[in-house]
Amino acid sequence: MIRIREAAVAGSFYPADPGELQSTVNRLLDMVPFISGPAPKVLVVPHAGYVWSGPVAATAYARLRPHRDRYRRVVLLGPCHCVAFRGVATSGASSFRSPLGDVALDRTSIDALRHPAVSLFDAAHRPEHSLEVQLPFLQAVLPSFTLVPLVVGEADAEDVAEVIDALWGGTETLLVVSSDLSHYLGYAEARDLDRETCRAIENLEDSGINHAAACGATPLRGMLQVARRRGLQAVTLDLRNSGDVSGDRHRVVGYGAWLFVEDASCRRAA
């Protein structure tokens, strides 16, 4: 039996019409200057509505374009916003649907996961936007890929790191962590906190990142632990907040984008 996880936030976080959505994503990607560099192994991207964080996310996804034929599998991790649970939730679906089409899940990898923190819990996936909003970007950039979607609830970063290690794969695998940064602070305070988080990410230091600094703190911390052990280097691509978009600087949400490469010759880009 084919089970499809239907789109939950199409029409609110991003356009529901396929043509409008494709045009929106392509426009955001085309706004990013072309830069040739090492193929990313990991991306960290925000997950707000496209009007707010879409330009920031695009700075990361555009870096995949020169390497688009390399990737065959995407491991996508994000925090749970709607359902309280313990651990890391996999999905029993065969595919995830977006207005741009269906993305097949890598059932072989998902079903082979053996970790005490991991369980099948479709209720965590059904309403969750942190993973869903990444799909149209991935579909626009990559010609073909399978997906391993993981929603992270109340979990230890060390457990998340072990799950990431188990799914690391080779050059065919891209890992994406979905996280916004600070929430509902004043503009200056948010900028200060987000800069601290940015420095921690650049230095692969996970211990100082909590849920006040990033809503996806747990998957982000797990990824930073793995990146540190494996000798990856982080590149900051963008860092801003909703006040930079709307002009309302009273209570803002922070957004950032980073890539991680296994090439030791990489240098910080921003």
- 35 or 13, greater pLDDT: 13
Residue partners of 101: CB distance under 8 A and separation at least 6: 139
pLDDT at 247: 87
pLDDT band, very low/low/confident/very high, at 36 (cuts 50, 70, 90): confident
At 270 the pLDDT is: 37
Contact (Cβ atoms closer than 8 angstroms) between residue 58 and residue 32: yes
Q: What mean pLDDT is predicted for residues 228-257?
A: 95
Q: What is the mean pLDDT of the chain?
A: 95
pLDDT bracket for residue 246 (50, 70, 90): confident
What's residue 267's pLDDT?
A: 42
pLDDT, average across residues 45-55: 97
The more confidently predicted of residues 36 and 267 is 36
Domain annotation for the chain: domains and CATH numbers: 4-74+91-261 (3.40.830.10)
Name the pLDDT band for 7 (thresholds 50, 70, 90).
very high
Residue from 142, 134, 136 nearest 68 by CA: 142
Residue 237 reports pLDDT greater than 60: yes
Per-residue confidence band for 1, with pLDDT thresholds at 50, 70 and 90 = low
Residue 132, pLDDT > 90, answer yes
What SS3 string covers the chain? CCCEECCCCECCCECCCHHHHHHHHHHHHHCCCCCCCCCCCEEEECCCCHHHHHHHHHHHHHHHHHHCCCCCEEEEEEECCCCCCECEEECCCCEEEECCEEEEECHHHHHHCCCCCEEECHHHHCCCHHHHCCHHHHHHHCCCCEEEEEEECECCHHHHHHHHHHCCCCCCEEEEEECCCCEEECHHHHHHHHHHHHHHHHCCCCCCCCCCCCCCHHHHHHHHHHHHHHCCEEEEEEEEEHHHHHCCCCCEEEEEEEEEECCCCCCCCC
Residue 193 has pLDDT above 80, yes or no: yes
When pLDDT is averaged across residues 139-151 and rounded to a whole number, the result is 98
